[in-house]
Every structure is written in C-alpha cells, then in structure tokens.
A and B are shown apart, each in its own frame.
Chain A
Amino acid sequence: MSLGKVPTHLLYTKTHEWVRVDGDKVVIGITDYAQSKLGDVVFVELPSTGDDFDAGLSLATIESVKGVSDIYAPISGSVWEVNEELEDIPEYINEDPYGQGWLLSLSIEDQTELDDLLTAEEYQALLEDEE
C-alpha cells in the first residue's frame, strides 16, 4: 500500500495528524496515509470554537464506513476555527487531506510543544516502520 503524500512544509504526530503553523495558530488535519487507511469518510464531529484541549486529548472524531477514529490535539490550545464545510462534504478529507479537508485551527498556548512534533522526514520514517 502507498504511504501517501507527506508534504515537507508540515509537522506531524505519531497518530497521523498534520500540523501547519500559521502565526499564533496551528491548522490541523489528518495525513494522506491516515485518510487512505480510514477509507470513505462519512461523518466528522468537530468541537466548538473556544473549546480548550490539552495536547493528546481527543478533539474530534471521524467516522468512515469502516470505523471510527479519534483525532488528538497535537498541542494544547483553544479551538479558533473549524472547517464547517466538512458537515456537508466530509469526502474532502479523502480527496484533499492537506487542503479542503483541514479540520480545525487551534491557538498556540505553548510554543515549545511544537518541538515535540515530527518533521516530514521523521513521519515518513514512522510510516515505513508501520508498513
């Protein structure tokens, strides 16, 4: 199976979320590898703006035909914006996981937490280990 695209300008988690730093916020989604493992996404449950999460807590769930997956907060923060388009078009996650399939943005509370995330190279190595 293909490991999918791993864009070099993003950061990653071991649980297959991607993170794009955008000023004092981070935008979060799931990786190409993760979406291909999940298969057809049919429902996405997102938190409300203003909800606070500690790093590592489940902040969203994605239901595919095959099963349900938790999405974990890569860093601590409060939800700034959610991708409301996913309500009607959850398939964006399959079709464009790094673009229109973004899930939400979080405000950054502690910059140092970003240091714990994986680089593209490290994430690619993790995928090769998993397969």
Chain B
Amino acid sequence: MLKHTPLYNWHVAEGANITEFAGYEMPLHYKSGILEEHRTVRTKAGLFDLCHMGQIRVRGRQAVEYLDYVLTQKIADMQPGQVRYSLLTTFDGGTIDDLMVYKKKSEFVLVVNAANKEKDYAWLRDQKGLYDVELTDLSDTYGIIGLQGPAAERILAPLVEDGLGNLRYLRFLETEFFEVAAVVSRTGYTGEDGFEIYFPLQAVPALWNQLLREGKSLGLVPVGLGARDTLRLEMGYSLYGHELSRQINPLDAGLDFAVKFEKDYFIGKEALEEIKSSGVKREIAAFVAEGKVIPRTGYKIICQDKAVGFVTSGTFSPTLERGIALALIEKGLENENVHLEVRGQLKPLTRVKTPFVPGRVKK
C-alpha cells in the first residue's frame, strides 16, 4: 500500500505527474514540466513537498555521546540552532544513510532520507545499548516544506516575525505560523538560497497554500521530484542509493569533510581508517558529455578499452544544456581520456570539478 503526504490530493488536483518514490506516491513534475520547474528554482523560487522524509528525535542525558558514537560527524561542539551534514555508517564503514543533524536546546533531530527512515530508526535503536537516550520517530508527526530559490527570503520574510535576514546557511530558528510552532532552517539541496520548514503534518497544506499565495507575485511554483534531482545533481550533491550505499563508503564518495577521525570513536571508524591508510581505491567523479548524450545510471565508463566504473547519477543539465554525470570510477586514472558507453557506442566525456553550476547558498 503506497503512502501519501497530506499534500497528495493537492498534487493530483494540480495535474501532477505522480511517481512512486520510497513507498510514497509523489509528484514527479507538474504541468509545466521538469525543465521549467528547474529554471524557476534557479531564477525565482520553488516549493517542494518533502513530507515523505524521515525525522528521528534523539534526547536524553547521553544524547551527545550517543550521537558522537553512531554518526561520523562531530556532535559535541554543535550549538543550538546549528545544522550539520553527517553519515551513518556500519561497523565495516558502509553507508547506511546520509542525514542532517539539527541541534536544539535540549534535543537533536535527525532528518533522513525517505527510503531509509525505517532502516535508520531500527539501526539507531539497535545501537542504543546502555546509552541513556530516547529515540522517537517523528516522521508521521511533522512535515517538511522546502522553499528554494533566489526569491525564497523575500517570500518567507513577511511570514516570520524576526531574524530571517540574519539566519545563516546551516542554521535554524524556531518561530510560528498561524500560532503553531515551526522550525525554519536555511538549508536545502538545490544549491540555491532557501529554507526548509518543519510544521505539524496535518497543518502542512494550510502553510503550503499560504506560501504559494505569498510567493505568487515573485514567481513561486510547486516543484516535483524530477527537478529536485536535476537541481541537486547540478550541484554534484550525493544521493543515497546512487553515490552512497552499503557498498559505497563516505571516503569513496569524497565526503571526508563529514568523517571526523579525530573523534575517539564512532561506528565504522576503524574500518574507514583502515580503508584510508591502505588507500581509497575508488572515487566519485563528475563528467560532462558532449553533444546529444545524456548519461544514465548504470552506463559504463570506459578508459583504454576497459570499464573503469559506472554512472551513479546522470541527467540533462537544464542550466548547461548538456548531459552531466556523477560516476564511481577507479581512483587515480592516469589517462583522463574517458568515454561513456551508450547503447554500444563510445561517447567522449570531459572530467570536471563539482559543482557543475556555481552554488548560491547564503554562507
């Protein structure tokens, strides 16, 4: 039985093309299509239904110690109002999920991928051991709305009493809409300035409609999962199940910045140290295709007649108007002359650094 967010009926009434994602029926795109939605987020603003994502609250006397044990990121020095990107890894260093950690005054909330929420919750519960912590799955209690794009602040500011202008990237504030408590963070996965709003699930449609009304004159439109993916891929951001998996560890994925080896211990530390000292064998590399070629997940990367990897995410970049890809390849290829195998033909690729398109988050 597929699940629905409280905005499902709204999406259907808007004529959205609905797709199955992580056990939910979600909008892939609305009538205007992925390209237009993508471009609107880059130039104006887009509204995203993220109510399918998971939220796990961690509180208790040893919440900090526990999270420093299960997460690769450093938690002890987080200040209230701060958000950090972290990985959740197994003892052998495989990636269980990537997530955002919200540090509140006396508790933490982990925001996790929709497809992984049950698995993450089960893992976190299993690792609890004797830690004095309480875990609560808030996924069906709070919903999330994403508001992304250069006009996002102008749209949201009139609805938030104070502080939005001073809110930095990876920080959040607690406010209210319609006298109901909400969390607003300056975060997102599009590369644009923007916010994610946490609000009681049943009240999400009221806030969604209010935001669309407020933003209409500034060009705000709803945006589906299709453009969410092209936007994140233009930034070179990892997506679990593509650039990260049980088989693709955070070092393969180039996410060293979120793996804090200076911590005394965390699950996966020994395995990842071993991998690091023996030399990371693979890497996620970014490529741009030439001509009318669009790399797709699973296409092979060929170097000197030999397969050296495969595409983990590929799409048409609406900004560059070229095919772009992230691929897992052998690390340290001396010959940079690589090709993409497309239905039996070899097409040239140019290796680039991410992001494919300059990011504009408000640092």
Residues of A within 8 A of B (CB): 1, 36, 39-40, 42-45, 61, 63, 65-68, 94
Contacts and interface: CB of A to CB of B under 8 A. Distances in A.
Contacts of A65: 34-35, 226, 230, 315-316, 318
Majority DSSP secondary structure for residues of B touching A: mixed
Contacts, number: 41
B354 interface: no
A67 B296 contact: yes
Nearest to A37: B17
Interface string B282-296: 000000000011101
6 contacts: A36-B17, A40-B33, A40-B36, A42-B35, A42-B321, A66-B226
Contacts of A1: 17-18
B29 A63 contact: no
Contact of B34 (A40, A43, A45, A63): A40
Interface string B314-341: 0110100100000000000000000000
Interface in B76-114: none
A39 B296 contact: no
A94 B316 CA distance: 17
A16 B254 CA distance: 43
Contacts of B17: 1, 36, 39
Contacts of B29: 39
A40 B17 CA distance: 12
Interface string B219-254: 000000010001000000000000000000000000
Given A42-B35, A65-B35, 4 more contacts: A39-B28, A42-B316, A66-B34, A68-B296
A66 B318 CA distance: 12
B294 A63 contact: yes
A90 to B, nearest CB: 9
A43 B226 contact: no
Q: Which of A42, A45, A63 has the most CB of B within 10 A?
A: A42
Contacts of B292: 43-45, 63
B33 A42 contact: no
A69 B200 CA distance: 41
Interface of B: 17-18, 28-29, 33-36, 226, 230, 292-294, 296, 315-316, 318, 321, 343
B34 A39 contact: yes
B304 to A, nearest CB: 26
Contacts of A66: 28, 34, 226
B12 to A, nearest CB: 10
Given A1-B17, A63-B316, A65-B315, A39 B33 contact: yes
Nearest to A61: B343
B322 to A, nearest CB: 10
A100 to B, nearest CB: 17
A18 B18 CA distance: 25
Contacts of A61: 343
Q: Which of B33, B226, B230 has the most CB of A within 10 A?
A: B33
B226 A42 contact: no
In the complex, the 4 A-B pairs of residues with the closest C-beta atoms, listed nearest first: A43-B292, A40-B35, A65-B34, A40-B33
A94 to B, nearest CB: 7
B226 A94 contact: no
A100 B17 CA distance: 24
Contact of B226 (A39, A45, A68): A39
Nearest to A42: B316
